[in-house]
Amino acid sequence: MSGHISPIREPLITGAKTYHQITEDICGPTERTPSVAWMIAFILAVTGLAVYVFCVTWTIWVGIGSWNLNRTINWGWDITNFVWWVGIGHAGTLISAILLLFRQKWRTGVNRAAEAMTIFAVICAGQFPLIHMGRLWLGFFIFPYPNTRGPLWVNFNSPLLWDVFAISTYFTVSLLFWYTGLVPDFATVRDRASGFRRKMYDFLAFGWTGSAKHWQRWESLSLILAGLSTPLVLSVHTIVSFDFATSVIPGWHTTIFPPYFVAGAIFSGFAMVQTLMIITRKVLNLQDYITLEHIDSMNKVILATGSIVGVAYLTELFISWYSGYIYEQFAFYNRLMGPYFWSYIGMMACNVISPQIFWSKNLRKNITVTFAMSIFINIGMWFERFVIIASTLARDYLPSSWSYYSATWVEVGLFVGTLGLFSTCFMIFTRVAPVVAIAEIKSILKNAGDQYVGMKNALKHDHKHESVKANGGDAH
Amino acid sequence: MTRSPNKDVLFGLYDDETKILSAVSEARAAHLDIYDVFTPFPVHGMEDAMGFTESRLHQAGFVYGLIGTLTAFLGMTWVFTSDWPIIFGGKPYWSVPAFIPVTFELTVLFAAIGMVVTFYTICGMGPGIINPTLHDRITDDKFCLAFDVTDVSDDEKAKFKTFLETSGAEEIDQKHI
């Protein structure tokens, strides 16, 4: 019944937990009055959100001219932020879907929070193309609906429209997957609550009872949604990369973009998961569920995807030289030696060189190092998108229209503001929903809990001892 | 909205999944009619112990996905070949490779929404629906085996009760839900 316990794996749940103790530990944060630290952080987050609302209002009121975009450089911080946020979202789906299909048990400790991160990151990402339109109130024109203008349809051949479909599908499917996973855990919180909280969780739990047939269907549904989300998550960043790759701009028009963007997305997403989980496990006392083993596993993913990204950067440079096409060669020369050389250096240092320290197991299991690295990678991946977008556009085919771009306070405010939007959502989430998937943790307790892993080793030892004796007997 | 099945249910609570698994197998071997089993997490082997057939949710998902594929592909074909043909970048009106991304996304979208709606519908769940539960710790750490005793003779009921007692239930109770 207890399934396979690998003798070489470290336990994923420490502290010799019982089922009830797991419920207590994980439901606790939603039931206690928030701590002072949480309150201060929440006030900061809401301040960031207020900055966001102000800057959006300013952009709409004054017009898109309040940004420093110009005729040559028509994408700047806005699309950089969009790609950065979408990329961050990818780690959540990778953890919840791809690691489910690969039967990686360590995903259960972090999947809930990572999926929440996905949803909030996609919300933040979606803001930028919308505001960037200028006339926000006409945003619904991006959807193909029967209209009185002909009907005039959207251009289904445009990668920007594919993006609309990709991002909205990604958001919807992630939300459904996340919520379906949450329903049994909301029922757990519901059954401990009373009064108004009981009513609230009665609503959120959708009438979950825990019936055997429902669990069977729930598992079947989770597996299929994981199976659907896997190609979906790969398609989303592929399509985001098509925004660039299907254009005929040197430096963008490359076939390497889809895999390179997907690897970069997973890389930056895991960095953000590390940033969030290192804080969350400490603040909510979840060190027994999000262990050093989890952090180690995620650092391995960071190392692998960081190296893929590094290879992609070098391949890009080589191919631009090897192509013999002077415009392509100039585009890359310009990235290294042009006016934005500093962002290229930042990108290389943060994304390619620094993650290599994770070849060391000690550093992978060091929380301070991991936290610092996660911030580096977040910055590096932002630079990557800025390099691709701004440095390329600043030097186009016509030297007479070359230009330089730096953001205005409005654009900086919008970026900082989305960090506020994201943090506000995430902090509310940690107060309302169980941050770790309770039911899934319980289902792996007997093959990943430290007391059971120890027991199995002891049993194995005894068994070996007996078999040696038995062999000895045979020899006689 | 509370959805009550209007039944009297006799149930026993076990404290471990191995105990309830063997209890379910024994009950089925003794031809006792189980009303339902409630557990805090998906217990592996329960489908077999309860004799469930495989869920057909994935077949429904395939149909929903196919509807999405056809909607997207035929829709775009209709728009670009007959409703409002426009030449984009010198490509043919019916430029199939360019339709693939949207077709794929709508396939996934339709399959996911369709299956999730189906799941909640067949399980009798949804926003605002309250299904009565037997015990508050079923979603915590207790494993519940329940028998329907609505119109059952005292003899039969005693049989259920004895079974629960002998199979290791820690707590036995009756509740109208």
pLDDT in tens, A96-113: 888 888 888 888 888 899
* Rounded-to-integer distance, Cα B161 and Cα A54, Å: 66
| A143–B contact, CB cutoff 8 A | no
CB pairs under 8 A between A and B: 190
Cα distance between residue A154 and residue A144, in whole Å: 6
Say if CB A253 and CB A355 are below 8 A apart: no
Tokens 């391995």 label which residue? A300
Please tell me the predicted confidence (pLDDT) of residue A466. Answer: 45
Residue that has been written with the tokens 């390179």 in this structure: A260
Coil, strand or helix at A185: helix
Name the 3-class secondary structure at B174: strand
What pLDDT sits at residue A473?
A: 38
DSSP element (H, E) containing B144: strand B143-148
Residue A455 has pLDDT above 70, yes or no: no
pLDDT for residue A458 is more than 90:
no
d(CA A111, CA A13): 15
Cβ pair A212:B37 closer than 8 A: yes
CB contact under 8 A, B108 and A232: yes
In this predicted structure, the answer to whether residue A265 has a pLDDT above a threshold of 50 is: yes
d(CA A30, CA A49): 23
Which 46-65 residues of chain B touch chain A by CB within 8 A? 46-47, 50, 52, 54-55, 57-58, 61
Q: Where are the domains positioned within chain B? A: 8-54+132-176, 57-122
| Structure tokens, A368 | 């301070």
Interface test with B, best of A2, A4, A13, A19 (most B CBs within 10 A): A19
Q: Which amino acid is at B36?
A: D
CA dist., res. A101 & res. A162, Å (int): 27
CA distance B54 to chain A (A): 8
Q: CA of B123, closest CA in chain A: separation in Å?
A: 6
**CA pair distance A67, A476, nearest whole angstrom:** 89
Transcribe A408-466 into DSSP letters. -HHHHHHHHHHHHHHHHHHHHHHHHS-SS-HHHHHHHHHHHBHHHHHHHHHHHHHHHHH
From chain A, the residues in CB contact with B127 under 8 A are: 203, 206
Task: Yes or no: say if A156 and B76 are a contact pair by the CB < 8 Å rule.
Answer: yes
pLDDT of res. A87: 92
> Which residues are CB-contacts of A139 (< 8 A; sequence separation ≥ 6)?
A130, A133
Query: Which residues numbered 443-472 in A keep a CB inside 8 Å of some CB on B?
Result: 443
| φ and ψ at residue A334, rounded to 5 degrees | -65, -35
Residues of chain A with Cβ-Cβ distance to B111 below 8 Å are: 224, 228
B176 Cα to chain A: minimum distance (Å) = 15
Question: To 5 degrees, how large is the angle CA A210–CA A216–CA A222?
Answer: 100
Task: For chain A, give the number of residues.
Answer: 476
CB < 8 Å to A180, chain B:
116, 119
Nearest CA-CA partner of A163 in B167, B101, B110, B103: B101
A34 φ, ψ to 5°? -60, 150
Tokens of B119: 């799941």
- Domain boundaries along the sequence of chain A: 19-143+155-448
- Give yes or no for a contact between B163 and B14, defined as CB atoms under 8 angstroms apart: no
pLDDT (mean) for A34-53:
92
Inter-chain contact A219–B42, Cβ cutoff 8 Å? yes
User: Are B95 and A173 within 8 A, CB to CB?
Assistant: no
Q: Are the C-beta atoms of A354 and A376 separated by less than 8 Å? A: yes
Report the alpha-carbon distance of residue A237 to residue A264 in Å, rounded: 9
Angstroms from B53 CA to nearest CA on chain A:
10
Q: For A309-328, how does the pLDDT look when each residue is reduced to its tens digit (9 = 90+)?
A: 999 999 999 999 999 999 99
CA-based radius of gyration for chain B: 25
Hey, is the C-beta of B18 within 8 angstroms of any chain A C-beta?
Answer: yes
A410: nearest Cα among A77, A49, A81: A77
**What tokens appear for B43 in the block?**
């217990």
User: Of A370, A371, A452, whose CA–CA distance to A13 is shortest?
Assistant: A452
Task: Identify the pLDDT of residue A288.
Answer: 87
Q: Do residues A27 and A189 lie in contact, with contact meaning Cβ atoms separated by under 8 Å?
A: yes
Q: Mark yes or no for CB contact A216/B139 under 8 Å.
A: no
Please identify every stretch of chain B with a pLDDT value under 50, giving residue numbers as ranges: none
Note whether B97 contacts A: Cβ–Cβ < 8 A. no
Is the predicted pLDDT of residue A465 greater than 60, yes or no? no
For chain A, give the percent of residues with pLDDT over 70. Answer: 93
Please count the other Cβ atoms lying within 10 Å of the Cβ belonging to residue A376. 18
- What is the per-residue pLDDT for A103? 81
Answer whether residue A119 shows pLDDT above 90.
yes
Edge-to-edge strand list for the sheet holding B143-148: B34-38, B143-148, B8-14, B171-176
- A149: contact with B, CB 8 A cutoff: no
Per-residue model confidence as pLDDT tens digits over A203-248 = 999 999 999 999 999 999 999 999 999 999 999 999 999 999 998 8
A15 φψ region: left (φ > 0), alpha (ψ -120 to 50), beta (else): left
**Chain B residues within an 8 Å CB radius of A20:** 137, 140-141
What does pTM read for this prediction?
0.91
Q: Is the dihedral of CA A287, A293, A298, A303 positive or negative?
A: positive
Q: How far apart are CA B150 and CA A80, in angstroms?
A: 64
* Alpha-carbon gap, residue A24 to A263, rounded angstroms: 38
CB contact under 8 A, B79 and A219: no
B104 and A150 within 8 Å at the Cβ level: the answer is: no
CB contact under 8 A, A20 and B140: yes
Closest among A301, A295, A224 to A266, alpha carbons compared: A301
Superfamily of domain A19-143+155-448: Formate dehydrogenase/DMSO reductase domain (1.20.1630.10)
Burial class (CB in 10 A: 0-12, 13-18, 19+), A431: middle
* Residue A73 vs residues A83, A127, A391, A393, A401: alpha-carbon distances, Å: 17, 20, 9, 5, 10
DSSP-derived secondary structure for A90-120: HHHHIIIIIHHHTT-TTHHHHHHHHHHHHHH
Confidence of residue A467 (pLDDT cuts 50, 70, 90): very low
- Quote the ipTM score: 0.94
Q: Which structure tokens are listed for B142?
A: 């207790």
Instruction: Name, in order, each residue with C-beta under 8 angstroms of A283's C-beta and a sequence gap of 6 or more.
Output: A35, A37, A38, A430
Q: Residue B90: phi, psi to the nearest 5? A: 70, 10
Q: What is the pLDDT of residue B169?
A: 87
**C-alpha to C-alpha distance for B20 and B24, rounded to whole angstroms:** 6
Chain A: nearest CA to B138, how far in angstroms? 7
Identify the H or E element spanning B119: helix B96-122
pLDDT score, position A45:
95
Check A228 against B55: CB less than 8 A apart.
no
Query: Which of A188, A190, A199 is most worth mutating to test chain B (most B CB atoms within 10 A of its CB)?
Result: A188
Shortest Cα distance, chain A CAs vs residue B151, angstroms: 22
Q: Which residues of chain A are within 8 Å of residue B75 when distances are taken between CB atoms?
A: 144
SS3 content of chain A, % helix, strand, coil (to 5): 75, 0, 25
Within chain A, how many helices (H) and strands (E) appear?
18, 0
Q: Is the pLDDT of residue A2 over 80?
A: no
Q: What is the pLDDT of residue A166?
A: 95
| Confidence grade of residue A5 (pLDDT, cut at 50, 70, 90) | low
Token pair 């099945």 in the structure block, residue: B5
A153 shares contact with chain B (CB less than 8 Å) = yes
Q: Contact B102/A242, CB-based, under 8 Å?
A: no
CA distances from residue A72 to A388, A404, B154 in whole angstroms, order as listed: 14, 9, 87
In chain A, residues with a C-beta closer than 8 Å to the C-beta of B88 are: 155, 157-158
**Cβ A144 vs Cβ A307: under 8 Å:** no
pLDDT at B75: 94
Mean pLDDT of chain A: 88
A462 pLDDT above the threshold of 70: no
